Amino acid sequence: MSKVQITLPDNSKREYDNGVKVIDVAKDISEGLARAVVGAKVNGKLVGLKYEMNEDSELTLLKFNSDGGEEIYRHTSAHILAQAVKRLFPDTKLAIGPAIDNGFYYDFDTEHRFTPEDLEKIEKEMKNIVKERLEIERFELPRDEALEFLKEKQEDYKVELVEDLPEDSIISFYRQGDFVDLCAGPHLPNTKKVKAIKLLNIAGAYWRGDENRKMLQRIYGTSFEKKKELKKYLKRLEEAKKRDHRKIGKELKLFTLEEEGPGFPFFLPRGTELKNALLDYWREVHKLADYVEVETPIILNKKLWETSGHWFHYKENMYTLKIDEEDYAIKPMNCPGGMLVYKDEMHSYRDFPLRIGEIGRVHRHELSGTLHGLMRVRAFTQDDAHIFMLPEQIKDEIKGVANKIDEIYSKFGFKYHVELSTRPENSLGSDEDWEHAEKSLKQALDELDLPYIVNEGDGAFYGPKIDFHLEDCIGRTWQCGTIQLDFQLPQRFDLSYVGKDGDKHKPIVIHTVAFGSIERFIGILIEHYAGKFPVWLSPVQATILPISDKFNDYAKEIKNKLKKKGIRVEMDTRAEKIGYKIREAQLDKIPYMLIVGEKEVESKTVSVRSRDEGDKGAVDINKFIDNVTEEIENRK
């Protein structure tokens, strides 16, 4: 029998008979390893443990918590969910059931309306399926046979999926016991490996995300190898519920969502103060980094969007209108307007790097079912920046932007990790451009000593990109910051500059954001801080609480002093007991409460109560102002 050479991640090589299974290589290395692995990557492709290797291959064995391991584990969990539903509700039709971040879901079409009580029954049946230790086997059918098989089972949604595939396709299925599902895989070798399961909730979902198609019932769940990990995750979910930005945003009077404008949030006075504090910080950081700020129109005509390509590739997400019988669109992004700003005058290589920022209002049509507080909206503000530069300036500019994003995230206490996405198949631009761009990005990250994950082939069609995934205080990750190199828009808009040689050349463009969507970033901050913002960011930084009406004049005097120093201050003159006022201020999460009574009037002081540290005693008002001003200016 012929042999195959298997290369492991440490570059060690092992030789096996042709057709060796992944699980057999794992057993050959260690029986303990074989028990722990859930799947593998063979030459970069995600596969199951029963996969046979028929050529020399690079093999990475995957445990549950490795990249790809959770996907295999939870994809199998989704199949166990579908099997349990079919056992309990046999007339149910199956749609799709992928693994997702932190869990899985499956979409079902059934006359029965699922209830929380049903989830308990389904979860119990899933655990029975796990105990049955059903072997999971892959088999394949030609497209015609696959269609016949699925039609016999009356799985209409699966039939539609197969009908969309080419006629010469070979269709894969997975069988576990009497349950069979159309699936590309991969999966665990059997159901027994799924140890800890929890079904979470029920939601509606349009078939294939099309609001004109039938609404299906989606069941969400999660699974872990160990019960303690599941317990830890569920505790984190409970903490996330407490921190829900919609709930806290309403309590703190930051923003409101009205039925007259679904997806169009209203910022209230306190929320607007918070937003402005963020934007002031953005402007300060960018001015120090030699950015100039511009503002481009919200509505621009069809010609611009044809030039940018959005009219042909993004129109379904854009709001359009007619002005003087001509087609216009409300901008879904700021970039095309930024290109027109650059074109407004001729540029020389001496102008570069040219850094232009814009805090721009954009609108994108999102399906109503996907809207979620401030996290998914139809109107939002983007902190866009575009850098126009020479090819030899790419590395230094990337380093500058990465340092800027690091400074911003560190200010909020966020950890983050970095991902580098390289050239996709449908890319534009020359091999030379892409090679130089990717090399520059990698060198910049290496010189900054920033660890990064490479996502091969996941870049934008117009250039490679670096994404920053920040981690909040309860361990959730959010993709916010990005640095994207663009070869396309300079071509489409015919941008140019005069080089040292006197000829015209195309500039290189970097698109970058730190916050991304300001609204979404505010939602993340609300949940990260649970509404207890640092003083510099707090919508109200201090509140003055007179013990009775006769001290209101002194309270107003203090209020005016604080306002003159730029401190955001309110005063509570309601005829309530001081204990009640303090509790209300605590619920509003105001950093400082200044209590004013007879003693404070006589000594020209205030009794300071800190949100986080409690009673701090009597303090001279000027000293308090100095301390808080320093805290705000340093953005502690």
Residues carrying an active site annotation: 335, 364, 382, 384, 386, 465, 511
CB of 386 closer than 8 Å to CB of 356: yes
Q: For residue 274, give both structure tokens.
A: 């918070």
As a whole number of angstroms, the distance between CA 122 and CA 199 comes to 8
Q: How many CB atoms lie within 10 A of CB 211?
A: 11
Give Cα 484 distance to the centre of its chain: 16
d(Cα 137, Cα 79) in Å, to the nearest integer?
A: 12
Q: Are 59 and 156 in contact (CB under 8 A)?
A: no
Considering only CA atoms, which of 529, 547, 14, 479 is closest in space to residue 249?
Answer: 529
Nearest CA to 455 out of 438, 434, 472, 475 is that of: 438
Of 116, 105, 77, 80, which Cα lies nearest the Cα of 216?
A: 105
**CB within 8 A of 37, min separation 6: which ones?**
22, 23, 26, 49, 61, 62, 63, 69
CB burial class (10 A; 0-12, 13-18, 19+) of residue 594? buried
In sequence order, which residues have a C-beta less than 8 Å from that of residue 137 and are 6 or more positions away? 174, 175, 176
Distance CA 236, CA 433 (A): 45
Start-to-end C-alpha separation, the chain: 69
Which DSSP letter does residue 423 get? Answer: -
Q: Are 61 and 37 in contact (CB under 8 A)?
A: yes
Ramachandran region of residue 341, left (φ > 0), alpha (ψ -120 to 50) or beta? alpha
